[in-house]
Structure 1
Amino acid sequence: MSKVSNALQMYMLLQVRSIMKVEEIADILEVSPRMVNEYKNDLEKARIYIGSKRGRNGGYYLQNTLNLKGIGITEEELEALKMANEVIQSGNYTYATEFETLSSKILNAKKDFEDISYYNKNILKPIEMKEKEKHIWTNINKAIGRKNKVEINYSSIDYNGNGPKFTTRIVHPYGVFDYEGSLYLYGYCELRKEIRFFKFLRINKYEILKDKFKINNEYNLKEIINKSFGIFNDEPIILKLKIHYPMSQIVRERQYSTNQKIEEIDNETIYFEAKLKGYKEIKSWVMSMGSLAEVIEPIRLRDEILEEVNKIRKIYE
């Protein structure tokens, strides 16, 4: 990283962790303690003053925290904050309560701000699941920042109906993302020798190791996710569907891929084509449309859906 990037990262670390030892900052930024002192001097030139506390529990800390006065927050920005707060609250996200407190402080600073009639419907999670995610996130986040490997005991879903499979893996944690209201850890899995996604709620046990790792800078999570129907990163398929009303109207209103093509057959029917990854999720999506969607390609997907339909028929017979 550049000197400016490291100085900014040091500032953000001190915002989050309050007080940190010089050696700890140097370890995270992968620089010498002398360079940390230089970043301190550079930040103070920008009027971001860093104090120093001696003793066993001492270290660097921010003397002046972020002041919102004079930033010039607009009405539109306040509305965006209120809507974001509603999304987070209705989705039962990990730090929903803390975010609500933060947004309230900002919104209440403007007394004449009008409330927004907005609600976001999301999947609600049981409290024990939300607490489990929060506990894992709190500790995993430290491993991500310090670039420590993590050992996890993980239960994978077997889509062939053989029950959960438990494995112990060493993971290089790159980061965390949210998908459909659930938190996922992504990073390099030493067992599979590739980048993998791990759902927090399927992590049974974990231990932060002392071993360090280096991030593969060539991996771009956003680029990978944007090419997938969901989060599965398998081989892409060319999906061709014939979709009837009302699902045709619903599909028209969404973008499933940046390369998707929609052709109007008539007022009620469309032809949908896209190159997508995430075969299992694609199959579930197509089946959720029932008789309103017909698979043209790939033939494999067409055959598998027909097989599932025959299984369902036997159950109800």
Structure 2
Amino acid sequence: MFGYCRDKNDYRLFKLNLLWRHRIIDNTFTPREIPVKELDLDDYFTDENRITIIFDKSLEYRLVEEYGPNCYEVMEDRNLKYSVGYTNRNYMVSWVLGFGDKARVVEPIDLAKEIMEKAKNIIRNYEHDI
């Protein structure tokens, strides 16, 4: 949620899932005009980090649904090459793992290695149970 923070005397992005101890109060407020410069949310989300992922062609529908029909490049083997900027590394790792064996990070290498280690840990979690 984007709004004015009275504690910081500035506009902020608030994550609603972090509002644990909320309560309804009787205070009222006067709506403010949001300056145009504050409406450029690109200042809040910098995509300085880039990731390139090769997706199995069977996942084309997911990429199209989430990011549009022109978000990827079709490769010679018909798999899909997808590159995007990201801000949250932990979220990106979880997101890629959610595609299981249908996605492979090719850049950056350190992120690919981190995902590989997480996958190994997932296997270890199940080795003793099955």
User: What TM-score comes out, normalization by structure 1 length?
Assistant: 0.31
Q: 1:254 aligns with which of 65, 85, 90?
A: 65
Q: 1:274 aligns with which of 84, 104, 117?
A: 84
**Corresponding residue SS for 1:275:** strand
Q: 2:13 aligns with which of 176, 191, 196?
A: 196
Q: 1:298 aligns with which of 105, 108, 112?
A: 108
Q: Which has the higher contact order (CA 8 A, sep 6+)?
A: 2
Q: 1:285 aligns with which of 92, 95, 100?
A: 95
Contact 1:236 1:278 in 2 (8 A): no
1:242 positional shift: 1.0
Query: Paired residues, what number?
Result: 121
Deviations 1:3-61 (A, max 9, x none): xxxxxxxxxxxxxxxxxxxxxxxxxxxxxxxxxxxxxxxxxxxxxxxxxxxxxxxxxxx
Deviations 1:233-277 (A, max 9, x none): 3544222111113124532x23527xx742211353111122344
CA distance 1:210–1:245, shift in 2 (3 Å): closer
User: What TM-score comes out, normalization by structure 2 length?
Assistant: 0.66
Q: Which residue of 1 aligns with 2:38?
A: 219
CA distance 1:307–1:188, shift in 2 (3 Å): farther
Q: Which residue of 1 aligns with 2:49?
A: 237
**Corresponding residue SS for 1:205:** coil
CA distance 1:250–1:244, shift in 2 (3 Å): same
Contact 2:46 2:86 in 1 (8 A): no
2:77 matches 1:263: no
Single out whichever of 275-284 and 288-297 deviates more from structure 2.
Answer: 275-284
- Computing the radius of gyration from Cα coordinates, the structure with the larger value is 1
CA distance 1:250–1:210, shift in 2 (3 Å): closer
Q: Which residue of 1 aligns with 2:2?
A: 186
Gaps of 5+ in 1: 1-184
Gaps of 5+ in 2: none
Percent identical pairs in the alignment equals 19
1:209 positional shift: 4.7
Contact 2:56 2:80 in 1 (8 A): yes
CA distance 1:215–1:239, shift in 2 (3 Å): farther
One-letter amino acid of the structure 2 residue matched with residue 187 of structure 1: G
CA distance in 1 between partners of 2:78 and 2:47 (Å): 32
Deviations 1:162-203 (A, max 9, x none): xxxxxxxxxxxxxxxxxxxxxxx3324436x66122326844
One-letter amino acid of the structure 1 residue matched with residue 74 of structure 2: E
Contact 1:264 1:270 in 2 (8 A): yes
One-letter amino acid of the structure 1 residue matched with residue 104 of structure 2: E
CA distance in 1 between partners of 2:87 and 2:30 (Å): 32
